[in-house]
């Protein structure tokens, strides 16, 4: 192997490495592993804890952490929301991040009741928003947009159809659901803060 060949090989190797690190610095998201979307959030319109209309347009360009609960729940829901609280506290001052909690019991959970619940959680409702609306629309969103409940749970008799999910969806800036967490497992939610920041940087 000639000395000239070694020099050229070394030159092109240094050139390639320089190009790689320059591209990585200029476009940090370029080499990240792309996570395939689980689903896409369909258009929706609900009412927040202040009685104001809240739609899918309100989350455009934002990263959203989404769960479903109901205020009279004494088992799954308090644990799930308490497990989400550390991530909320860490991210509450981060721009373009929202936490959305939809009720699965809209007959009881009026906007006023959700406001009282939000106050009891001691959260900023500009960042952690509580939503109510038509039951069929809420359930459709849970099952088909956010993928936190199995569509086969839907039954024809609306009086016995009840959504009680412990799962939490992570939505990217494009409205794609990219990850589902078990809200009862703090070990799964440990990565939530970093996952959100990664989506913000993407």
Cα–chain-centroid distance for residue 150? Answer: 18
Which residue stretches of the chain have pLDDT < 50?
Answer: 18, 20-33, 157-160
Evaluate the CA torsion angle 175, 179, 185, 187 in order and state its sign.
negative
Q: Where are the domains of the chain?
A: 1-31, 39-201
Annotated binding-site residue? 73: yes
Annotated binding-site residue? 83: no
Annotated binding-site residue? 163: no
Using an 8 Å Cβ cutoff, are 180 and 168 in contact?
Answer: yes
Q: What span, in angstroms and rounded, lies between the C-alpha atoms of 118 and 120?
A: 5
CATH number of the domain located at residue range(s) 39-201 in this protein: 3.40.30.10
Residue ranges of alpha helices (H) inside 27-153 are 76-91, 111-121, 135-140
Global pTM value: 0.79
Tens digit of each residue's pLDDT (9 = 90 or more) over 121-158? 999 999 999 999 999 999 999 989 999 976 555 555 44
Q: Is 75 exposed, middle or buried (0-12, 13-18, 19+ CB in 10 A)?
A: exposed
pLDDT at position 27:
43
Q: In which order are the strands placed within the sheet that holds 167-171?
A: 39-40, 176-182, 167-171, 63-69, 97-103, 128-132, 45-48, 53-55
Cβ atoms within 10 Å of 64's Cβ, excluding its own: 24
């Amino acid at each position: 192997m000639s000395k000239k060949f070694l020099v050229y090989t070394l030159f092109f190797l240094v050139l390639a490495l320089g190009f790689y690190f320059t591209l990585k610095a200029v476009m940090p998201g370029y080499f990240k592993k792309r996570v395939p979307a689980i689903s896409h959030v369909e258009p929706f319109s609900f009412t927040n804890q202040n009685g104001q209309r809240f739609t899918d347009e309100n989350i455009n360009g934002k990263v959203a952490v989404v769960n479903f609960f109901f205020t009279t729940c004494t088992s799954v829901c308090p644990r799930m929301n308490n497990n989400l609280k550390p991530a909320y506290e860490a991210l509450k001052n981060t721009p373009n991040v929202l936490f959305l909690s939809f009720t699965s019991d809209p007959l009881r959970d009026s906007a006023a009741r959700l406001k009282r619940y939000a106050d009891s959680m001691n959260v900023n409702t500009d960042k952690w928003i509580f939503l109510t609306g038509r039951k069929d629309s809420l359930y459709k969103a849970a099952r088909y947009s956010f993928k936190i409940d199995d569509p086969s749970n839907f039954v024809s008799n609306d009086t016995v159809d009840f959504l009680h999910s412990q799962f939490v969806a992570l939505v990217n800036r494009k409205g794609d659901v990219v990850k589902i967490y078990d809200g009862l497992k703090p070990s799964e939610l440990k990565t939530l803060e970093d996952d959100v920041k990664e989506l913000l940087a993407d």
